[in-house]
Chains A and B, each alone.
Chain A
Amino acid sequence: MIVDQNKINEAVSTVVGYGGEHILNCVQCGACSAVCPGVKAGFPLLCRHLIRSLLNGNLEEIIEDSSSWGCQACNRCTEVCPQGVRPQEVVFAFRRYQANQLAFSTSSVTSQMNLFETGHAVYTDPREARKKVGLPEETPTSAFDEQAKKEIQTLINNSPMGALGLF
């Protein structure tokens, strides 16, 4: 690795621009990674390590890494961070950068399609299971409400997500 200040500046300003405003506060203590379920699940570039890579000027180099999509948005990192970095915001900012470069992880495409089609990012068809235990098969949510679905799709199509051309 060479230390290229232009690349460092680009990585930092990109992340800051997408909402990871406090990335420069990081002192690499590692508390965020210690509590991160994504790190426990084996995603290599989450929290501290993602921040370090960005501060070393790596942006394009790590664009295809799927770790950021492993973030469960639990926000424990934000709670434990002693320097107010808000690591989850950095992870999300990096995701936004990835999304804008159309560098999606396959894992993320499914959930986005789910959101578009059912209004739920995480969705499995509940009807069979509900029938088994004697509940009404359909839930009173957007999944079975054509009007609600339409509204959600209109919202998505008119948001930056729509501009990605996934749907």
Chain B
Amino acid sequence: MAKVGVYVCHCGSNIAGVIDVATVRDFAETLPDVVIARKDLFMCSDSGQEMVKQDVRDGLVDRVVVAACTPRTHEPIFRAAIEKAGLNKYLFEMANIRDQGSWVHGHDHEGATEKAKKIVASAVGKARFLEPLEDKFVPVTNAALVIGAGIGGISAALELANMGHKTYLVEKRPSIGGVMAQLDKTFPTNDCSACILTPKMVEAYNHPNIETLTYSEVDDASGYIGNFTIKIRQKQTYVDWSRCTGCGDCATKCPAKTADEFNAGLSDRRAAYIMFPQAVPKKAVVDINHCINCADRDIGTLPKINKKTGRPILAPCERSCQAEAINRSIAHNPDGAIRKIEVGSIVIATGYQVMDKDWFKEMAPACPNVITALQLERIISATGPTEGKLLRPSDKEKPRTITFVSCMGSRDEHFHTYCSRFCCMYMIKQARLIKEKYPDMVINMHFIDVRAAGKEYDEYYVGARKMGINLFKGKVGGLEMLTEDKLRVLAYDMESATSIEYESDLVVLATAVELPPDATALAQKLGLQFCGSNFFRELHPKLGPVETATEGLFLAGCCQGPKDIPDTVAQAKGAAAAAAVPLAQGRVRIDPIISEVHSEKCSGCGICIPLCPYHAITMQTYADRPRAQIEMSSCKGCGVCTSACPSGAIVLHGYEESQIFAQIEALTA
């Protein structure tokens, strides 16, 4: 006979404000096999846990039911408590009377109390049949993967590598650096972005423990915490990187042009190109989608021979390459190469994109002098299309009036309801940099609110006012195109309740931060979830900001939600620390709540094999006949095989038939 102890939690007023805890406790006492029922203000507090432990130590109870909140956060706490008191930790069952009781039935105290009784009865029913289980452990591959090599990915990779773990740093673009490499200066200290970023890029690239794979993407992922197998697609560069010296001659000779992504489309780059002057690695790539196949010669075919000289007619890119890194006669595989790597944990730091101006029809997107803030960043950057000179796109003239518009696509029901968090600050930074350089420039900034939360941020913002930058409360409602590529700004000053109309030479839109579309495919491959704002979902918004629902996957930077550089680096280092835990432990615990085949009952029909979503079941010979067998490290305990087995040969530990039927019986009593 089991001796079940039931402990009902008030959770302050979270539960007790709706549910009559005393009534639930009284009821629990009447349930079969229940020897003790107690209640406490906070069961998870030290005193609450001690109460349970004492009852276990005194030999009063050998099964524990806590009626409280969600097992997602609190089951591990109580399991650890009873284990400490000497009981097998799986002899514990949680009754969630908060999330499934008081929180959803706040309007109906009596009904919620009745439901709580049922939930407790069901948990007790199951607890009576609980069996002790043992944790299982599997060894770990001591290596980490960091996906995305912006400042977040670089920071995480350096941290992991410095802890001594082999780290793969994978970046889809030809160079590491991310968006930060595109920035001019950084708030609130105005230090040059490249000056602080490029040393980190070089450090990561040259680190003995980091293997950087650029122009590469995750093609496929399988496995589980401690033992992931990742297929990395190294995209076809059409350039032999072992020979390429990064001189850039191919890029100057290539005649094919396309928009330069690094300059946010403000200038053209060639089909053969180096991403930017400080690229790491500094290697050329032939972008085959924009290659025009000079002289009608497809890549992978031999060159024609000049009849006069008898020498081959080479394409400009290969002719210009002194290092002989470009050979268009080779039949390169357009799909690139697949590299298989084994890692124990993964940090995802894939970053963000900003919305395009074309979404905002009221903002005269057709006018070349309406630009996104990232484009302005390129214009004022010394490595940008104007070498840092502030010239507006339409006529390459210096503007006299510049307008900044906040919250384009952020805090907007039509696009994204969230605040993009760092636009206020970068707009103020851009305005300050321009005002410093050109004190006579008229700068008008329009905000819904100025959000300058951060160390030294508000001082930076007030400093902008002191510099004579005009700030108006009120979002710009629209822009009208005027002659000479000027714009009429339709705005409002809420502080004096006055409408504003003026002509501007250049309008900068702070467009919203969002996940790039290719993040969806990555999420599917890795099993990541999305949050309501359509960023990757963390395990817990407060207490698990770097973890995900999948063990072994960690998040850093803007892929988890908009954040500035300091916050990204902080989260990246946190993610690296969390990702290093399984690597440092050398083994990971496998929850024993997994399925097992009773080979003597198994008929070998094989129905379970295709049903398993984790490919955990194989046929193995047992007593000379094929029988199903489950690989415990792959099993996630979903129970599909258990319910499908016609012979009843598969048991799911922790959810055994006797336990589930006891629950049903209690709920239907």
Contact = CB atoms under 8 A, between A and B. Distances in A.
Contacts of A55: 470
A28 B495 contact: yes
Nearest to B498: A1
A53 interface: yes
Interface string B487-521: 00000010110111110000000000000000000
B468 A3 contact: no
Counting chain A residues whose Cβ lies within 8 A of the other chain, the interface size class is 20 to 34
Interface string B465-500: 110101001000000000000000000010110111
A36 to B, nearest CB: 16
Interface in A19-56: 24-28, 48-49, 52-53, 55-56
Interface string B23-55: 000000000000000000000000000000000
B496 A53 contact: yes
Contacts of B444: 3
B465 A26 contact: yes
A83 B461 CA distance: 12
Contact of A49 (B466, B468, B496, B499): B496
Contacts of A27: 450, 462, 465
Contact of B462 (A5, A8, A49, A83): A83
A15 interface: no
A93 interface: no
Interface string B133-176: 00000000000000000000000000000000000000000000
A8 B470 contact: yes
Contacts of A8: 470
A77 interface: no
Contact of A24 (B450, B466, B500): B466
A25 B465 contact: yes
Contacts of A26: 465
Interface in B428-443: 442
A2 interface: yes
Name B's interface SS.
Answer: strand
B462 A25 contact: yes
Contacts of B442: 3, 5
Interface in A43-78: 48-49, 52-53, 55-56
Nearest to B501: A2
Contacts of A115: none
B465 A56 contact: no
A56 B496 contact: yes
Nearest to B469: A24
A16 B493 CA distance: 23
Nearest to B441: A5
A91 interface: no
A1 B500 contact: yes
A1 B499 contact: yes
Nearest to B442: A5
Contact of B501 (A1, A25, A48, A53): A1
Contacts of B401: 3, 5
Nearest to A22: B466
A9 B440 CA distance: 11
Nearest to B473: A28
B500 A52 contact: no
Contacts of A28: 473, 495
A3 B501 CA distance: 7
B137 to A, nearest CB: 57
B13 to A, nearest CB: 35
A3 B462 contact: no
A24 B461 CA distance: 12
A52 B465 contact: no
Contact of B495 (A2, A3, A4, A48): A48
Given A25-B462, A28-B495, A52-B496, A12 B468 contact: yes
Interface of B: 401, 442, 444, 450, 462, 465-466, 468, 470, 473, 493, 495-496, 498-502
22 contacts: A1-B499, A2-B500, A2-B501, A3-B444, A3-B500, A4-B502, A5-B401, A5-B442, A5-B470, A9-B468, A24-B468, A25-B462, A25-B465, A25-B466, A26-B465, A27-B462, A49-B495, A52-B495, A52-B496, A53-B496, A56-B493, A83-B462
Given A52-B493, A53-B496, A56-B493, 20 more contacts: A1-B493, A1-B501, A3-B401, A3-B442, A3-B500, A5-B470, A8-B470, A9-B468, A24-B465, A24-B466, A25-B462, A25-B466, A26-B465, A27-B450, A27-B465, A49-B495, A52-B495, A52-B496, A55-B470, A83-B462
